[in-house]
Protein backbone atom coordinates (compact mmCIF):
# COMPACT_ATOMS: atom_id res chain seq x y z
CA UNK A 1 0.00 0.00 0.00
CA UNK A 2 1.34 3.41 -0.95
CA UNK A 3 1.37 6.06 1.77
CA UNK A 4 -1.42 8.17 0.29
CA UNK A 5 -3.66 5.06 0.11
CA UNK A 6 -3.44 4.53 3.89
CA UNK A 7 -6.08 6.26 6.05
CA UNK A 8 -3.66 6.24 9.01
CA UNK A 9 -1.34 8.54 7.04
CA UNK A 10 -4.13 11.07 6.53
CA UNK A 11 -5.30 10.75 10.14
CA UNK A 12 -1.80 11.73 11.26
CA UNK A 13 -1.49 14.65 8.86
CA UNK A 14 -5.07 15.97 8.96
CA UNK A 15 -4.35 19.04 11.11
CA UNK A 16 -1.18 19.85 9.15
CA UNK A 17 -3.08 19.42 5.87
CA UNK A 18 -5.82 21.73 7.08
CA UNK A 19 -3.28 24.44 7.93
CA UNK A 20 -1.03 24.15 4.86
CA UNK A 21 -2.85 22.58 1.90
CA UNK A 22 -6.50 23.45 2.58
CA UNK A 23 -6.16 27.24 2.00
CA UNK A 24 -4.64 26.58 -1.42
CA UNK A 25 -6.94 23.75 -2.56
CA UNK A 26 -9.90 25.90 -1.49
CA UNK A 27 -9.22 28.13 -4.47
CA UNK A 28 -9.73 25.23 -6.86
CA UNK A 29 -12.75 24.02 -4.89
CA UNK A 30 -14.38 27.40 -5.27
CA UNK A 31 -13.53 27.42 -9.00
CA UNK A 32 -15.16 23.99 -9.34
CA UNK A 33 -18.23 25.08 -7.40
CA UNK A 34 -18.62 28.16 -9.61
CA UNK A 35 -18.99 25.90 -12.67
CA UNK A 36 -22.24 24.35 -11.42
CA UNK A 37 -25.42 26.30 -10.71
CA UNK A 38 -26.74 24.86 -7.45
CA UNK A 39 -30.30 25.64 -6.39
CA UNK A 40 -30.87 26.55 -2.72
CA UNK A 41 -30.97 23.37 -0.69
CA UNK A 42 -29.34 21.30 -3.42
CA UNK A 43 -28.05 17.90 -2.28
CA UNK A 44 -24.26 17.85 -2.67
CA UNK A 45 -21.81 15.02 -2.05
CA UNK A 46 -18.08 15.65 -1.57
CA UNK A 47 -16.10 12.44 -2.16
CA UNK A 48 -12.67 12.10 -0.53
CA UNK A 49 -13.36 15.48 1.00
CA UNK A 50 -10.12 15.92 2.93
CA UNK A 51 -10.63 18.74 5.40
CA UNK A 52 -13.65 19.97 3.45
CA UNK A 53 -12.55 22.70 1.06
CA UNK A 54 -15.44 21.94 -1.31
CA UNK A 55 -17.94 20.77 1.29
CA UNK A 56 -17.64 23.92 3.39
CA UNK A 57 -17.81 26.23 0.36
CA UNK A 58 -20.92 24.42 -0.93
CA UNK A 59 -22.54 24.64 2.50
CA UNK A 60 -21.91 28.38 2.63
CA UNK A 61 -23.77 28.67 -0.70
CA UNK A 62 -26.86 27.08 0.90
CA UNK A 63 -26.47 23.46 -0.22
CA UNK A 64 -27.15 20.44 1.97
CA UNK A 65 -23.80 18.65 2.00
CA UNK A 66 -22.57 15.18 2.80
CA UNK A 67 -18.76 15.06 3.05
CA UNK A 68 -17.12 11.62 2.96
CA UNK A 69 -13.54 10.49 3.41
CA UNK A 70 -11.84 7.22 4.36
CA UNK A 71 -9.79 9.04 7.00
CA UNK A 72 -11.53 9.53 10.38
CA UNK A 73 -9.05 12.32 11.09
CA UNK A 74 -10.12 14.26 8.01
CA UNK A 75 -13.80 13.71 8.75
CA UNK A 76 -13.28 14.98 12.30
CA UNK A 77 -11.77 18.23 10.99
CA UNK A 78 -14.87 18.84 8.85
CA UNK A 79 -17.27 17.98 11.67
CA UNK A 80 -15.39 20.37 13.97
CA UNK A 81 -16.55 23.30 11.81
CA UNK A 82 -20.05 22.73 13.18
CA UNK A 83 -22.00 23.84 10.10
CA UNK A 84 -25.63 22.70 10.44
CA UNK A 85 -25.99 21.84 6.74
CA UNK A 86 -22.85 19.65 6.58
CA UNK A 87 -22.80 16.01 7.57
CA UNK A 88 -19.42 14.24 7.59
CA UNK A 89 -19.05 10.46 7.40
CA UNK A 90 -16.18 8.00 7.11
CA UNK A 91 -16.72 6.18 3.83
CA UNK A 92 -14.77 4.46 1.07
CA UNK A 93 -15.27 6.39 -2.16
CA UNK A 94 -14.68 3.22 -4.16
CA UNK A 95 -17.81 1.68 -2.60
CA UNK A 96 -20.11 4.46 -1.45
CA UNK A 97 -22.73 3.27 1.06
CA UNK A 98 -25.29 5.53 -0.56
CA UNK A 99 -28.36 5.00 -2.78
CA UNK A 100 -28.43 5.54 -6.52
CA UNK A 101 -29.29 9.00 -7.88
CA UNK A 102 -29.31 10.58 -4.41
CA UNK A 103 -27.46 13.85 -5.13
CA UNK A 104 -27.87 16.85 -7.39
CA UNK A 105 -24.11 17.33 -7.66
CA UNK A 106 -21.17 15.13 -6.71
CA UNK A 107 -17.68 16.60 -6.38
CA UNK A 108 -14.21 15.24 -5.79
CA UNK A 109 -11.43 17.82 -5.50
CA UNK A 110 -8.05 16.04 -5.79
CA UNK A 111 -9.63 13.07 -4.01
CA UNK A 112 -10.73 10.30 -6.38
CA UNK A 113 -7.40 10.69 -8.18
CA UNK A 114 -5.72 9.19 -5.09
CA UNK A 115 -7.77 5.97 -5.14
CA UNK A 116 -6.15 2.64 -6.01
CA UNK A 117 -9.23 1.97 -8.18
CA UNK A 118 -9.92 5.49 -9.33
CA UNK A 119 -12.13 4.36 -12.21
CA UNK A 120 -14.40 2.67 -9.67
CA UNK A 121 -14.42 5.94 -7.75
CA UNK A 122 -15.59 7.82 -10.84
CA UNK A 123 -18.31 5.26 -11.57
CA UNK A 124 -19.50 5.45 -7.96
CA UNK A 125 -19.75 9.22 -8.32
CA UNK A 126 -21.89 8.75 -11.42
CA UNK A 127 -24.08 6.12 -9.74
CA UNK A 128 -25.13 8.40 -6.89
CA UNK A 129 -25.73 11.46 -9.12
CA UNK A 130 -29.34 11.99 -10.16
CA UNK A 131 -30.22 12.12 -13.88
CA UNK A 132 -29.55 15.66 -15.04
CA UNK A 133 -27.23 16.31 -12.10
CA UNK A 134 -23.53 17.08 -12.30
CA UNK A 135 -20.30 15.32 -11.50
CA UNK A 136 -17.23 17.49 -10.95
CA UNK A 137 -13.66 16.20 -10.60
CA UNK A 138 -10.44 18.15 -10.13
CA UNK A 139 -7.04 16.63 -10.86
CA UNK A 140 -3.51 17.98 -11.02
CA UNK A 141 -1.36 17.99 -14.10
CA UNK A 142 1.21 15.20 -14.05
CA UNK A 143 3.90 17.22 -12.23
CA UNK A 144 1.67 18.03 -9.28
CA UNK A 145 1.32 21.43 -7.65
CA UNK A 146 2.55 23.82 -4.99
CA UNK A 147 5.44 22.53 -2.85
CA UNK A 148 5.31 19.11 -4.55
CA UNK A 149 5.76 20.75 -7.96
CA UNK A 150 8.54 23.03 -6.73
CA UNK A 151 10.44 20.21 -5.04
CA UNK A 152 10.24 18.07 -8.15
CA UNK A 153 11.64 20.88 -10.28
CA UNK A 154 14.49 21.58 -7.86
CA UNK A 155 15.39 17.91 -7.45
CA UNK A 156 15.74 17.57 -11.22
CA UNK A 157 18.06 20.60 -11.21
CA UNK A 158 20.19 19.68 -8.20
CA UNK A 159 20.13 15.89 -8.43
CA UNK A 160 19.69 14.97 -12.11
CA UNK A 161 18.86 11.34 -12.64
CA UNK A 162 17.58 10.93 -9.09
CA UNK A 163 14.22 9.15 -8.97
CA UNK A 164 11.52 11.41 -7.60
CA UNK A 165 8.04 10.93 -6.20
CA UNK A 166 5.67 8.86 -8.31
CA UNK A 167 2.34 10.54 -8.81
CA UNK A 168 -0.91 8.55 -8.41
CA UNK A 169 -1.84 6.61 -11.56
CA UNK A 170 -4.95 8.71 -12.15
CA UNK A 171 -2.95 11.92 -12.35
CA UNK A 172 -1.03 10.64 -15.36
CA UNK A 173 -4.14 9.05 -16.88
CA UNK A 174 -6.21 12.24 -16.65
CA UNK A 175 -3.54 14.83 -17.51
CA UNK A 176 -4.69 15.09 -21.13
CA UNK A 177 -8.15 16.71 -21.35
CA UNK A 178 -9.22 14.25 -24.05
CA UNK A 179 -8.34 11.28 -21.85
CA UNK A 180 -10.06 12.94 -18.89
CA UNK A 181 -13.24 13.41 -20.94
CA UNK A 182 -13.17 9.79 -22.12
CA UNK A 183 -12.86 8.51 -18.55
CA UNK A 184 -15.84 10.58 -17.39
CA UNK A 185 -17.90 9.15 -20.26
CA UNK A 186 -16.79 5.61 -19.40
CA UNK A 187 -17.82 6.19 -15.77
CA UNK A 188 -21.39 6.96 -16.82
CA UNK A 189 -21.40 10.74 -17.22
CA UNK A 190 -22.18 12.68 -20.40
CA UNK A 191 -21.14 15.95 -22.06
CA UNK A 192 -17.83 16.34 -20.19
CA UNK A 193 -16.22 19.78 -20.23
CA UNK A 194 -12.57 20.01 -19.16
CA UNK A 195 -10.91 23.29 -18.25
CA UNK A 196 -7.40 24.13 -17.05
CA UNK A 197 -7.29 26.40 -13.99
CA UNK A 198 -4.06 27.91 -12.68
CA UNK A 199 -3.40 29.62 -9.36
CA UNK A 200 -0.12 30.65 -7.79
CA UNK A 201 0.88 28.85 -4.63
CA UNK A 202 2.46 31.69 -2.67
CA UNK A 203 5.42 30.32 -0.78
CA UNK A 204 6.25 32.55 2.17
CA UNK A 205 10.07 32.68 2.18
CA UNK A 206 10.13 32.95 5.99
CA UNK A 207 8.57 29.45 6.09
CA UNK A 208 11.92 28.13 4.86
CA UNK A 209 13.15 28.60 8.42
CA UNK A 210 11.10 25.48 9.23
CA UNK A 211 11.30 23.49 5.99
CA UNK A 212 10.11 20.22 7.52
CA UNK A 213 6.79 21.90 8.28
CA UNK A 214 6.59 23.32 4.77
CA UNK A 215 7.63 20.23 2.79
CA UNK A 216 7.14 17.37 5.24
CA UNK A 217 4.16 15.81 3.43
CA UNK A 218 6.24 15.13 0.30
CA UNK A 219 8.39 12.00 -0.18
CA UNK A 220 10.60 14.17 -2.38
CA UNK A 221 11.56 15.95 0.86
CA UNK A 222 11.57 13.17 3.44
CA UNK A 223 13.81 11.00 1.22
CA UNK A 224 16.59 13.63 1.20
CA UNK A 225 19.65 13.68 3.43
CA UNK A 226 20.18 16.72 5.67
CA UNK A 227 22.80 18.20 3.33
CA UNK A 228 20.48 17.75 0.37
CA UNK A 229 17.63 19.45 2.20
CA UNK A 230 19.94 22.38 2.93
CA UNK A 231 20.79 22.58 -0.77
CA UNK A 232 17.10 22.64 -1.69
CA UNK A 233 16.39 25.46 0.76
CA UNK A 234 19.37 27.44 -0.57
CA UNK A 235 18.11 27.02 -4.13
CA UNK A 236 14.64 28.26 -3.23
CA UNK A 237 16.13 31.28 -1.49
CA UNK A 238 18.18 31.95 -4.64
CA UNK A 239 15.05 31.70 -6.80
CA UNK A 240 13.17 34.11 -4.52
CA UNK A 241 15.93 36.69 -4.50
CA UNK A 242 14.70 39.79 -2.71
CA UNK A 243 11.06 38.70 -2.81
CA UNK A 244 9.30 37.72 0.40
CA UNK A 245 6.90 35.45 -1.51
CA UNK A 246 7.84 33.02 -4.28
CA UNK A 247 4.89 32.24 -6.59
CA UNK A 248 4.61 28.65 -7.82
CA UNK A 249 2.08 28.54 -10.70
CA UNK A 250 0.07 25.33 -10.29
CA UNK A 251 -2.39 24.03 -12.89
CA UNK A 252 -5.35 21.76 -12.29
CA UNK A 253 -7.87 20.31 -14.70
CA UNK A 254 -11.50 20.62 -13.64
CA UNK A 255 -13.91 18.27 -15.36
CA UNK A 256 -17.65 18.96 -15.26
CA UNK A 257 -20.11 16.44 -16.69
CA UNK A 258 -23.83 15.62 -16.60
CA UNK A 259 -25.44 12.42 -15.49
Closest C-alpha among 56, 76, 55, 66 to residue 12: 76
Question: Would 48 be classed as within a structural domain?
Answer: yes
Instruction: Return the pLDDT at 77.
Output: 92
Burial of 72 (0-12, 13-18, 19+ CB in 10 A): middle
The answer to whether residue 223 is domain-embedded is: no
Exposure letters 7-42 (e unless 16+ CB within 10 A, then b)? eebbbebbeebbebbbebbbbbbbbbbeebebeeeb
* 89 strand-pairing partners: 68
Give dist(CA 47, CA 109) in Å, integer: 8
The pLDDT > 70 percentage for the chain reads 95
Report if residue 149 sits inside a domain: no
Strands 86-90 vs 64-69: parallel, antiparallel or unpaired: parallel
Domain residues for the domain of 50 are 3-142+165-198+251-258
Of residues 131, 136, 125, the one with CA closest to residue 194: 136
Beta bridge partners of 96: none
> Quick one: pLDDT at residue 47?
98
**Is 208 within a domain?**
no
Total count of domains within the chain: 1
Q: Is the pLDDT of residue 179 over 80?
A: yes
Handedness of CA 166, 169, 173, 174 (dihedral sign): negative
Q: Classify residue 211: in a domain, yes or no.
A: no
Domain contains 239: no
Compute the radius of gyration of the chain from its Cα atoms: 18
Q: Is the pLDDT of residue 3 over 70?
A: no
Q: Is residue 120 part of a domain?
A: yes
- Are 232 and 11 a contacting pair, CB within 8 Å? no
Mean pLDDT of 142-166: 89
Q: How many separate helices (H) and strands (E) can be counted in the chain?
A: 11, 7
Q: What number is the average pLDDT over the span 44-49? A: 97
Q: What angle do CA 219, 224, 226 make, to 5 degrees?
A: 135
The answer to whether residue 196 scores a pLDDT higher than 60 is yes
Cα–Cα distance for residue pair 213/51, rounded to 1 Å:
18
Nearest to 52 by CA among 62, 66, 63: 66
Residue 200 has pLDDT above 70, yes or no: yes
Residue 204 maps to a domain: no
Model confidence band, residue 17 (pLDDT cutoffs 50, 70, 90): confident
* DSSP label of 39: P
79: CATH: 3.40.50.150
Angle at 72 between CA 63 and CA 43, to 5 degrees: 15
Q: How confident is the model at residue 78 (pLDDT cuts 50, 70, 90)?
A: very high
Amino acid sequence: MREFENPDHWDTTARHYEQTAHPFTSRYAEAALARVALAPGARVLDVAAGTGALALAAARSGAQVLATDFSPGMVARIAAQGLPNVEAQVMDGQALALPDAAFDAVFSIFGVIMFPDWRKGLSEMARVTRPGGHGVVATWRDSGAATFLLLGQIRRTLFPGRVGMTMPAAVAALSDPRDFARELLAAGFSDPQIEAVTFDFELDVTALDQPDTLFGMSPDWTSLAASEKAAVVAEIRRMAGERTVLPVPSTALIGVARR
